[in-house]
Structure formats: C-alpha cells, structure tokens
Structure 1
Amino acid sequence: MANEYPQVMVIGGSDSDGSAGIEADLHSFFMRRVYGTVVMTAVVAGNSYGIHDSFTLPLPFISKQFEVLADDLGVKAVKTGMLADADLINTVADNLEKYDFGKLVVDPVIVTKHGALLLEDAAFETLKNRLIPLAEIITPNFYEAEHIVGRKLKSKDEIEAAAHELQDLGAKNVMLKGQRIGDGQETVDDFVLLEDGKTFWLPAQFFDTDRRNGTGDTVSAVIAAELAKGTNVEKSIRIAREFVTNAIGNEIQVGHKYGPINHWANELPKE
C-alpha cells in the first residue's frame, strides 16, 4: 500500500558544502531509516570557511512544494530549519496549518552556537507568534533560548525556568541544548521539559572540536525521524542526543576549517 514507509519532511535551506541545512537533515533521515522529503526555502553558497552568498526562493514556489507533497505523500513528521524573514515564516505557518504533515519539530535558528544573531527582530516575533505554538517540540540552543526569553541564563534554575516559558509560548515539549564553553568543559548538559511536566537533564561528553557543523540540524532531524516512526518524544530525544554525541566524537576530515559532524559514526561498532 502506498505511503506505508515512514516519511519525514524538512523545511529549510540547502547548504552547498553538505555540512548543515537540509543536507545534514537528509543524512540524518537516511541513517534513521526514514524517507526524507524537502520544502526548500533558500540556497546557500558556503563552505567550511563560511557563507558567501544566499538566495531565498519565491514564496509562491515554496507554497507549491507544500501543495504537491501533501497531494501525494504521507509525511508523518516535519522539522524546520533556518527561515530567513517574517514573510517566509508566515508562509510556512500558513501551509502547516493548511496541510497535515504530522508532528512539528521547530529548530529555531536564531543565534549561532558562537552567539551571532541570524534572525531580524520582525522575523523573531513572527517565529514566536506563528510557528512555536504549532510545535510538538522546540529545540533551541542555549543562546536562542536566552534570546527568546529576553535575558541571560546564568544557572540551572534559570535554564529550567526558561524552558517553562518556552512551553508557555505553545510548544508542547522543550529540549534546551546546553552551552558549549570549552577550556576544560567535560559535559554539555541539555535540559528537557515534556508535555506532561516531566523534566530531566541530559548530559553528554563535550568534544572541543571545530567539526561541529550541522549539530543542531541533526538533533532536530533525528527527533523528527523518530516521531515519524511512532517513537515517543522522550525516547526520540534520547536517541537524537546519543546520535549527535557519536557523530561529534568520531570526526571526519572534510573541509579546511569548520567541518561537519560524522553521521556515519553511528554505524561504527561499539567498543
């Protein structure tokens, strides 16, 4: 029967060096054995040194991608990546409300792991008001969480309070990814708040490496892949965290500077 195989969608931009964006998502989908589909919103000319140019696709074309996929496929989960501006976020939200693509994972690409702001204020407000309320789970990094709640997070208590504020915006579940500092850091501690009120910290080994491109994309993509297969949210989060830890801890040498994580590390035999 058509569409029995688990299918998942990514809404985001294409990264030409394959380290992040929809390419990292598709790597993740493949490794978790789900069929990946794409609503492409932008294309980026980039490599390990940085982003050199980008182009956002026309909004009617983006909407047409939603329409034709909804007409044919059986997508059971969807994740968002970087969305360039308020008009694009509104277009995405309109289509997610119009068509049933299953559970939504929002990776709110607002601030990089190094603290650089990626989203203008108008787009940020639209993200909060239109997209986050649709989310089954939101997966901000530490700096994105600070930006959303509007203050610095200086303790575990403050991080936990911020997660509750993110849930109050409408997201059912929250995975607030830990701060990556370096200089002797041993773990990266993520905080999880589930829809039923359950909370827990999820520590993972810290690797002081420049081979971390695509980490956030991969976490949200693996969660979406597992949700499409019917895995519950907590188990999906735990699978994603272990997957990314393996991918960072087993480097591949691609590019000269800030390289990708190694999705294929998850096929390596455990010692």
Structure 2
Amino acid sequence: MNQLLNSRLMSAVLIVAGVIFVFLLNSVVVINPGQAGVLSILGKAQDGPLLEGLHWKPPFIAAVDIYDVTVQKFEVPAKSATKDLQDITASFAINFRLDPLAVVEVRRTQGTLENIVTKIIAPQTQEAFKIAAARRTAEEAITKRDELKDDFDTALSDRLAKYNIIVLDTSVVNLDFSNEFSKAVEDKQIAEQRAQRAVYVAQEAAQQAQAEINRAQGKAEAQRLLAETLKAAGGQLVLQKEAIEAWREGGAQVPEVLVINGEGGTPPFFLNLAPSQSK
C-alpha cells in the first residue's frame, strides 16, 4: 500500500515538474548578440524591442520574432538613362542593417527581412540610381564614377532611412552601356590615340627639320668663315693646299707638275707632283 502511494506521489511530482519546465520554457526567450526581438501577444506586436539577453514572456499565448541586426549584404541590379538619354545598367552591392531599436515598426510594416529586401531595398535602389544617373551624361558617368556613386549613396540612404534601414556602404559591381555607346567610346579612344600619334609624328618631323636647319646654318657659317679666310692674306695658299690634298686622296689622275698663276702681283706657284723615282 505504501509502495503504491509512493509511486503515485512520485508520478505526480514528475508531472508537476514537467508542467513547470514546459511553463518556464515558454516563459523565457534568449536574444543573442546581433539579434533583436519583437514580442507578440495573441498576434499583436508589443511596443519596445527585445534586445540581447534573457526576457520573460507570457507562456503559450506569446511569440517572439527574431531579427538579425548584423550587417547584411545584398546585390541589386538597376537600370536608368543618363542626361543625354543613354541607357545605363548597373549592379550594386549594398551593405545594410536594421535599426535594432526600430524592429517593432519593421515587424508591423514590413514583416520579414526577405520582404524588406524585395519590397523596399530593391525598388529604392532603382529609384536612387535613376536620380544619380540623370544628373550627368554617359561620358561623365564613366569619367566621374566616384561622383555618381556619391549621389547614389546619398539618395539611397535618405530613402531607406524612412524604413529604419541603415546603409553602411555600397559598391558598384558593374556598370554597362548600350552597344552603340560602347562602340562610340571605343572609336573615340582610337581617334584620340591616332591624334596623339599624329602629334608625336609632327613633333618628330619638326625636330628633324630643326636639325636640318641647324646643319644648314652650320654649313653656311663654315662657308662664310672660309670666304673670310680667302679674302684675307694667304687665302690662295689655303685653296692650293686643299686642291693638292683632294688630288692625293681622291685617287684621280694627278699631273706631274701643277702651275697656279699668281694674281694681283702674286708670283706663280710651281709644284712637282710626280712620284720620286729611286735610282
């Protein structure tokens, strides 16, 4: 009899302990670092987010939605037109996170993180890119890419702030234009390269022409100095010496005796050029 009572008592204790355990298990929730929770009682979101730590909740009638508030990365395609009506497509990598103090509002208005990405971030990225692209031409979008990104960042941050989404950073993964514009850019680059080549050739020709001028001026100066030398006393002797050296070096038929008549009272000049004969 006592054993039966003890057995029933033990069973009751175990049942009560199990109920208490289940009750406690459904009465607490642990929010880990990098998370924020929203408490809902009977389906109604309660004010005040649940931040990291241990929190109590009504058992069985309450639920907690957990949101990841760490940095999220999402790649978004976008398409727009520039100020000069050139089609431009881009792909942006967006780093963002939810404001942990505003997750209750996020829960009430957007629901899940997937809804935030597809219904908020994607369309707002498209609109922000339209604003940034429309402020500059296609060529400026290439040459001033940093300014394009700055305008995009500003527009996107302003738009997403209304939804309690904090933009941390963006990067342009890809930036493409129409085939016609890409061909025009390529043709322009080729034309610029050819123009640069033409400038180089012109400069080289000018340098060569200047060198010819310098050589001609040097030759003219040499001739002028020679003329002045010939006018001076003994000039004819210089000519005679040069003529003899030319005959000797040129290999032409050299006369045995060279007679150069004097002028202006200068006595004639006799020179025996015949090779000496050994006896």
Shared fold (TM-score greater than 0.5)?
no
Q: TM-score interval w.r.t. the shorter chain?
A: under 0.3
Q: Which has the higher contact order (CA 8 A, sep 6+)?
A: 1
Q: Which has the higher helix share?
A: 2
| TM value normalised by structure 2 | 0.20
